[in-house]
Chain A
Amino acid sequence: MLRDYLLIGLLLVSALAFGALIIGAAALIRPKRPYPVKTSTYECGLETIGSTWVRFRVQYYLYALLFVIFDIETVFLYPWAVALGALTPFALVEMAVFVLILVVGLVYAWKAGALDWV
C-alpha cells in the first residue's frame, strides 16, 4: 500500500518540477526591458481614471451561504453513495430524511426569493 503513495508522491514532485521548469525557462529567455510607460496600468490606452479597488456587492454573500450548505450535503452524500451497497435498506431511508430536511430549507430559500438574481 505504501508503494501507491510513492507513485502519488512522484506525481506531486514531477508536477511541481514541471511548473518550475516552464516558469524558469521562460524567465531566462524572455526579454526584460521595463520602462515606466510600459509597466503602467493598462486602461485601453488612457491614463487610469479612478481607483483600482472596486467595491463588491455584499449581497453576493447569500450565494456563498447557499453553496456552503449544499456543499456539505454533497460531502455527506458521496461516502454514503459509495458505501450504500454494503448497508441495510434503513440507510436509504435515513439519507432520504436528511435530504428532505435540506430540501425544506431549499424550498424556503426559493420562496423567500433568495435564488432570484440580485
Chain B
Amino acid sequence: MGNPEPELSPEQILELEQQGVFLTSGEKLKAIEVLYNWGRRQSMWPVMFGIACCAFEMMATGAGRFDMGRFGSELFRASPRQADVMIVCGTVSKKMAPMVARLYNQMAEPRYVIAMGACACSGGPFHEGYNVVKGVDKLIPVDVYIPGCPPRPESLLHGWIQLQRKIDGQRIQDVPWYGKDGDTRECAIPEYGPHGLVFPDKTAG
C-alpha cells in the first residue's frame, strides 16, 4: 500500500496518467474512486487568504484574463468551513501565525494547502526578518509549493493543476479523513508571546 518509486520519464508518467493509472497509489483506480476524485478536483473552493503581495496575483488569477473559475474555483469562500483549499499567499508574520493555524483547523476535510510565493514556502526574501515565520509549513501541512516572488498567475494555475493531479491519485482507502485510524491533521495553534511564537506544550496533559 506504499508509494512505489517510479523510474519513469515525465512523458511516460503523463501517458500512464492518461490511461487512468495513477502513480500516487501505483495501480488503476476503480470507477467509483475516479468519480469521487473527479468531483472533488473539479470544484475546489479556496479560502480567501491573501495576506500580502501574492494576493494580488491570486486576484489576477481569479479575474478575467487568467480565470481560475474555469478550474472550478469560481467562489472564494470567506469562511473556512465552506472551503476545500487554502492558498496561503504572502508572508506569514508571527502575529498572523495563530490565525493561520486556527483557520486551517476550522476547515473541514478534505482540505488542502497551497503555499504560494517564496514567503509562504520558506520565508522568502524576508527570511531574516524577526517577525516572519520561515515558511507556512512550520504551522500547517502543505500540499503544493509554488515558488516565485510573486508567482505569475500561470504559475498559480500550474500549481492548481498539480494539486488536481494529486487529488486524482488519492484512493478512498488511503485518504486520512475516512477510517478509524485516520489522521485529523490537527495543527497546534501558537501563541504570539513577547518573544515570538510559543507553541503549546504537547507533553503537558
> Which residues on A are within 8 Å of B, measured CB to CB?
31, 33, 35, 37-38, 40, 42, 44-46
Contact = CB atoms under 8 A, between A and B. Distances in A.
A33 B107 CA distance: 11
B102 interface: yes
A46 B189 CA distance: 11
Which of B106, B110, B182 counts the most A-chain CB atoms under 10 A from its CB?
A: B106
Top 10 closest A-B pairs, CB basis? A45-B99, A31-B177, A31-B109, A37-B105, A45-B103, A45-B102, A33-B184, A38-B105, A35-B186, A42-B106
A42 B80 contact: yes
B110 A31 contact: yes
Contacts of B102: 37, 40, 45-46
A81 B98 CA distance: 62
A39 to B, nearest CB: 8
B126 interface: no
A42 B81 contact: yes
Nearest to A39: B106
Given A42-B80, A45-B99, A33 B105 contact: no
A61 B106 CA distance: 37
Nearest to A34: B184
Interface of B: 79-81, 98-100, 102-103, 105-110, 177-178, 182, 184, 186, 189
B99 A33 contact: no
B106 A40 contact: yes
A37 B189 contact: yes
A46 B191 CA distance: 11
A45 B178 CA distance: 26
Contacts of A42: 79-81, 106
Nearest to A29: B36
Nearest to B96: A45
Contacts of B80: 42
Given A33-B182, A37-B186, A46-B102, 17 more contacts: A31-B110, A31-B177, A31-B178, A35-B105, A35-B186, A37-B102, A37-B105, A38-B107, A38-B186, A40-B106, A42-B79, A42-B80, A42-B81, A45-B98, A45-B102, A45-B103, A45-B106
Contacts of A44: 99
A63 to B, nearest CB: 28
B87 to A, nearest CB: 15
Contacts of A40: 102, 106
Which of A37, A40, A44, A45 counts the most B-chain CB atoms under 10 A from its CB?
A: A45
14 contacts: A31-B108, A31-B109, A31-B178, A33-B109, A33-B182, A33-B184, A35-B184, A37-B105, A38-B105, A38-B106, A40-B102, A42-B80, A45-B100, A46-B102
A37 B106 contact: yes
Contacts of A35: 105, 184, 186
